[in-house]
């Protein structure tokens, strides 16, 4: 299809040849915050400490693409969270983190069709590892916040690949894993909602915007605007 087409209510396709099957692909990569889960973890950490307005404003600007340096935006937000106790972060995980409707259905369907599943996030391993265990995800890449004396220092820990998983790191992770698996980028699906997901979405065979910012919806081959993540199965039967 050369133009945007309403495939079903709340489900838009553009430049996508149909029909396709999930088993045509070998890897599916998901963003985490506001994609696999319903919250933005860093905003919720800020909320329990009374700083949500300041942090959420930076998050929203970054996701819309108004702040073009994701690394800088994350460092700004982390600095505002210096001194937050780990007990508050545990509260967010236990009380506020909720899987997006359809997430488990889609991940299970992907596994059943022979795909590997990657969670690649500009968020934190503290939450990503929990989501990995809930959904049986195969691979995770995310940021690791620094903790000292039971509190956030406001910094991030260097990992073998770097310190911050931004849009370019998401792209590099997806393409690197595809190479290790011996598959082509065209055999990969990438699902996200924000501007920092665009680099990986542009690099793969099928890009999926989930309840996404307008800029992301405009570029994606599939846009899920209503309902859960499992609506992708309406396109990839």
Q: Active-site residues: which are they? A: 31, 33
By three-state DSSP, how is residue 138 classified?
A: coil
Distances (CA, A) of 120 to 5, 88, 117, 138, 139: 29, 24, 10, 11, 8
* Sequence-distant (≥ 6) Cβ neighbours of residue 53 within 8 angstroms: none
**Among residues 155, 160, 173, 146, which one has the least CA distance to residue 76?**
155
Q: Which two tokens stand for residue 44?
A: 């919720």
Measure CA of the first residue to CA of the last residue in the chain; give whole Å.
18
CA 162 from centre of chain? 18
Cα gap 184→27, rounded to integer Å: 10
* Residue 185: CA count within 13 A, CB half-sphere: 13
């Amino acid at each position: 299809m050369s133009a945007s087409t309403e495939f079903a209510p709340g489900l838009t396709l553009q430049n996508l040849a149909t029909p396709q099957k999930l088993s045509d692909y070998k890897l599916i990569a998901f963003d985490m915050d506001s994609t696999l889960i319903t919250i933005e973890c860093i905003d919720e950490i800020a909320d329990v400490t009374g700083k949500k307005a300041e942090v959420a404003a930076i998050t929203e600007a970054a996701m819309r693409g108004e702040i073009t340096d994701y690394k800088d935006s994350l460092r700004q937000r982390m600095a505002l969270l210096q001194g937050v106790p780990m007990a508050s972060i545990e509260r967010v995980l236990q009380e506020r983190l909720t899987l997006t409707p359809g997430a488990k259905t889609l991940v299970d369907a992907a596994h059943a069709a022979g795909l590997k599943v990657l969670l690649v996030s500009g968020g934190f391993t503290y939450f990503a590892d929990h989501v990995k265990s809930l959904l049986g995800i195969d691979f995770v890449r995310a940021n690791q916040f620094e903790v000292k004396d039971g509190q956030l220092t406001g910094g991030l820990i260097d990992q073998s690949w770097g310190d911050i998983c931004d849009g370019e790191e998401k792209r590099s992770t997806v393409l690197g894993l595809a190479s290790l698996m011996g598959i082509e980028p065209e055999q990969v699906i990438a699902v996200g909602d924000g501007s920092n997901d665009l680099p990986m979405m542009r690099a793969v065979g099928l890009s999926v915007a989930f309840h996404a910012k307008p800029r992301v919806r405009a570029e994606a081959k599939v846009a899920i605007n209503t309902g859960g993540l499992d609506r992708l199965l309406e396109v990839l039967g």
